[in-house]
A = this chain, B = another copy of it.
């Protein structure tokens, strides 16, 4: 396995009024995760990157963490540090944001 944790963050932009994770918000989340991993010296063992629709649009902004396949919804920039420190580093998912999909 190339990465201990691999985070895929939706940046899909649908046409309003359809709900979507959104290119702007998705890309901001990607940047925030990359910065958080870099700050912690984790870029060789973990990766965060953009992806297309994760089929959780109603619960977006959405992301998924592999290899465990944990889906998160309604993720805000202010949640990034907690997801990194609790889940990616310490394997404790942030339950209040986990989607049961």
Question: Could you say which of B53, B55, B66 contacts A69, with CB atoms under 8 Å apart?
Answer: B66
A33 at interface by CB-CB < 8 Å: no
Q: Chain B residues with Cβ under 8 A from A8's Cβ? A: 8, 51
With both beta carbons as reference points, the residue of chain B lying nearest to A71 in the complex is identified as B2
- Give the Cβ gap from A101 to chain B, nearest Cβ, in Å: 5
Q: Chain B residues with Cβ under 8 A from A3's Cβ? A: 69
**A 48-67 contacts with B by CB, 8 A:** 49-55, 64, 66-67
A25 at interface by CB-CB < 8 Å: no
- Expressed in whole angstroms, the Cα–Cα distance for A3 and B8 within the complex equals 14
Given contacts A2-B71, A66-B69, 19 further A-B contacts (CB under 8 A): A1-B69, A2-B55, A2-B64, A8-B8, A8-B51, A30-B52, A47-B55, A49-B51, A49-B53, A49-B54, A50-B51, A50-B52, A51-B51, A51-B52, A66-B66, A66-B67, A67-B67, A67-B68, A67-B69
24 A–B contact pairs at CB < 8 A? A1-B68, A1-B69, A2-B69, A2-B71, A2-B101, A6-B64, A6-B66, A6-B69, A8-B8, A8-B51, A30-B52, A47-B55, A49-B51, A49-B52, A49-B53, A49-B54, A50-B52, A51-B51, A66-B66, A66-B67, A66-B69, A67-B67, A67-B68, A67-B69
